[in-house]
Structure 1
């Protein structure tokens, strides 16, 4: 049914929107498209899976499902740890690769190609450590419950959708109501001018990596919780992430989330109306259409 496709699209769109926030912030601050961002989703999911399994082995009571959900307290605790460790991974990659290229004055295309190499290395390392066999946070089965208008959803799906909206609101408040957020917006407008006013651009760059990686970890855990965890999950989401970040407008957090919902709905409706084999093409069509018709996106600023 179309109504159920709408619900599925909103849930998938929430995950896409969270990942797209990291993409749009990285592009607006560092001025390059980081094609390795999808791998941060994968690493975040696998790190959380490892931490959750370790916690469950040490304290079996943490694996007992919480209320109507399919997971125990080991998953939320592991999510926090995954956000921290994924942020450290992003900082390490920046220190080893992107930071050196920036200091040497490398062209933007060099940074973009380096992100391709970093993505390939991270993906293969992940597959080497965990193999390509799909993994799951839990084997518990959930029965979807009726909502309204013919829609159905499991408790896990509703939690993911609610958590996505809460997270984007918190990030928006961070960027608009805190000194750190104002510094990030200043660097996004003009890094040299921001530096002259006393803003530490290097610290802002580190904050962007930390924030983007932490959100990627949340999106990866959400996707792994609802579907499955595999080394290529970030690669599969990469095109929808870029489509959402461009459609929403570079640098706009609410725009990235709204665009993520649009992309998710478009994919779900395509599966319902045309077929699942065309799902991957939807994000590409949206991306091309936005670049042709509205390059600044929904909430992007026009450039001179």
Structure 2
């Protein structure tokens, strides 16, 4: 495997890993697989796209590219606004759909099927609002930087750095703060956590906020490096779940590491077999890990 394939896979894996963190948080705390998570990623990208365009229209100087990147200050500012908007969307979906179902103590399969319906609704709203045509944050061309045998654009290197910083911050949040300890307690035993004074509802709300916020960042990264489409969340959904399960449900470093594994495996498949087989890689990894080590890399066997 060439160094270039490893780098390309790591860049793709950084996006997958950030999205997988939201999947693993939702599953470990709320106890169901949220198939609408990929669409939060797509909504985050479109929120940032719309806000970036509005900021650029109001202050044209902010849209000018920042050397050596392909985008201007309008995109980082839009991202700062898109994150709370995406988190708000996730809280709205929870308040209208998942919250009432939890209050009725609905079976897990009901929550899963409800997430399918939420995903279809969110995706249809995206297509209705923004159409199905691909969109881009910028049309600027970049010259790749060469580092020995590998090449990467400044945008790609920035996404790797941003992903690394965010994973470190989330890990510190979950391990060094009271809220993080509360989240880990709820993931272990929600009933017992409530008995000892943990505000379970607050933990659930924060899980949605954190997962959706990271999904927004992942969506912006994907839109910056590839393109923005209403189907982008659906395309990334299987890799997100593969990374979340491979890393071990509840493990933040595990989700990120597994995202890198999935990304590198996809990049290697494109080089060795062909791009048409790329979508099958996450499915193969998912089936293999479920058969061989269902608790994942950092997970614990029940």
Shorter-chain TM-score range: over 0.9
1:41-86 deviation line (CA, Å, top 9, x unaligned): 0000000000000000000010111120000110001001110000
- Once the two structures are TM-superposed, the CA of residue 2 in structure 1 deviates from its matched residue by 2.2
Question: 1:140, 1:35 → 2: CA distance?
Answer: 34
> What is the DSSP-based 3-state SS (H/G/I as helix, E as strand, rest coil) of the residue aligned with 1:152?
strand
- Once the two structures are TM-superposed, the CA of residue 147 in structure 1 deviates from its matched residue by 1.1
- Map 1:1-304 to 2 at 5 A: 2-148=2-148, 150-303=149-302
Question: 1:198, 1:10 → 2: CA distance?
Answer: 41
Question: 2:82, 2:64 → 1: CA distance?
Answer: 20
Question: 2:86, 2:2 → 1: CA distance?
Answer: 37
Question: 2:301, 2:284 → 1: CA distance?
Answer: 22
- Once the two structures are TM-superposed, the CA of residue 198 in structure 1 deviates from its matched residue by 0.5
Question: 2:147, 2:69 → 1: CA distance?
Answer: 17
Question: 1:236, 1:46 → 2: CA distance?
Answer: 16
1:139-168 deviation line (CA, Å, top 9, x unaligned): 0011111112x1100000000011001100
Question: 1:67, 1:282 → 2: CA distance?
Answer: 36
Moved more, 251-260 or 4-13: 4-13
RMSD over equivalenced CA pairs, Å: 0.6
Question: 2:196, 2:217 → 1: CA distance?
Answer: 34
TM-score (norm 2): 0.99
Question: 2:298, 2:81 → 1: CA distance?
Answer: 33
- Once the two structures are TM-superposed, the CA of residue 3 in structure 1 deviates from its matched residue by 1.9
> What is the DSSP-based 3-state SS (H/G/I as helix, E as strand, rest coil) of the residue aligned with 1:159?
helix
Which runs of 5 or more residues in structure 1 are unaligned?
Answer: none
Question: 2:78, 2:2 → 1: CA distance?
Answer: 35
Which 4+ runs in 1 deviate beyond 2 A?
none
Matched-pair contact (CA < 8 Å) for 1:14–1:257: yes
Question: 2:222, 2:116 → 1: CA distance?
Answer: 22
Which runs of 5 or more residues in structure 2 are unaligned?
Answer: none
Question: 2:198, 2:186 → 1: CA distance?
Answer: 8
Matched-pair contact (CA < 8 Å) for 1:70–1:156: yes
Matched-pair contact (CA < 8 Å) for 1:175–1:185: yes
